[in-house]
Amino acid sequence: MNVLVTGGAGFIGSHLAERLLLAGHAVWVLDDLNPFYHPELKRRNLAAIAALQRPFEFVRGGLEDSAVLRGLFARVAFDQVIHLAARAGVRPSLEEPEVCQRVNVEGTVNVLEAARRYGVRKLIIASSSSVYGINTKVPFAESDPVFAPISPYAASKLACESLGHVYHHVYGLDIAMLRFFTVYGPRQRPDLAINKFAKLITRGQPIQVFGDGSTGRDYTFIQDIVDGIMACTSQTFGFEVFNLGGSQTVTLSRLISVLEGALGQKAIIDRLPLQPGDVPLTSADLTKSHARLGYQPKVGIEEGLRRFVEWFRRQPLEP
């Protein structure tokens, strides 16, 4: 297959591009290498993909540039689009809500329009567990109400899900929306907690902990996420939403403890109040994903953090 991966130079996208290439597919990566974090980190990811010496092309461009998308779709007959590109994160979206909506929502419209106009029928689109908001029903199921997002980022992802349904209903596109639950592992973005904590702990600097450490996340190892995405590439759905989680909620206090053990070093804690937009708990109900995709996460938090730390210790100094 010819597969376009938007955001393919990033954390999840680069791992997925590698898996697709190793499975025998041709991959095009679209990424704007924006300075949300240092572009050199994404260039390292691209170099790792190119080193596989499989049919791969990198195209630099942003989702907001519909001309770049149209030109790419006109040039390449894609079989599938896996749309991962976004301005990610709850806290960045609180600081720049207009950027979040422009890239995530308008950008997704541009991707859907390019697919529709050039006859690409199948898309897999990244959503987020943040769409569940403060959900009192645990674990979170795809059928739960999701009408009360509490951050601009969550609202943007909910809008993308709605757009996906529209393009299926009106134009007949086959669309799978994947709600990712706190993905971690090698190549994790430097702004995310595990990567940020590891840097600070090893430098002997304090880590900022918002709240009393009782907030919980369904941490999901990167290879499990890629397994779930790959399972979607071989099926048709009409329109479906799937949770992809780790099936084990871990408190922030336990996460820090396990990370300390993997690093062999204690953390200095700078405790701060909870921040707006943060949800107290995420927990994925994987019943549907298991039944429809055969999805079964394999890597628990101890093993996942051990693998992360192995990768982390091999990295050069951050640019």
Q: How far is CA 278 from the centre of its chain?
A: 17
DSSP secondary-structure letter at 218? E
Burial 109-126 (b: 16+ CB within 10 A, else e): bbbbbbbbebebbbbbbb
Which residue, among 287, 213, 199, 193, has the nearest Cα to 245 in the 3D structure?
Answer: 287
Q: How far is CA 254 from the centre of its chain?
A: 23
Q: With DSSP H G I counted as helix, E B as strand and the rest as coil, what are the percentages for the chain, rounded to 5?
A: 45, 20, 35
Point out the catalytic residue in the list 37, 118, 153, 171. Answer: 153
Q: What angle do CA 47, 52, 55 make, to 5 degrees?
A: 100
Q: Using CB atoms within 10 A of its CB, is residue 164 exposed (0-12), middle (13-18) or buried (19+)?
A: buried
Q: Using CB atoms within 10 A of its CB, is residue 88 exposed (0-12), middle (13-18) or buried (19+)?
A: buried
Other beta carbons less than 10 A from residue 302's beta carbon = 12
Please confirm, yes or no, whether 118 is among the known catalytic residues: no
Question: Is 27 in contact with 20 (CB distance < 8 Å)?
Answer: yes
Handedness of CA 60, 7, 9, 151 (dihedral sign): positive
Could you list the active site residues? 153
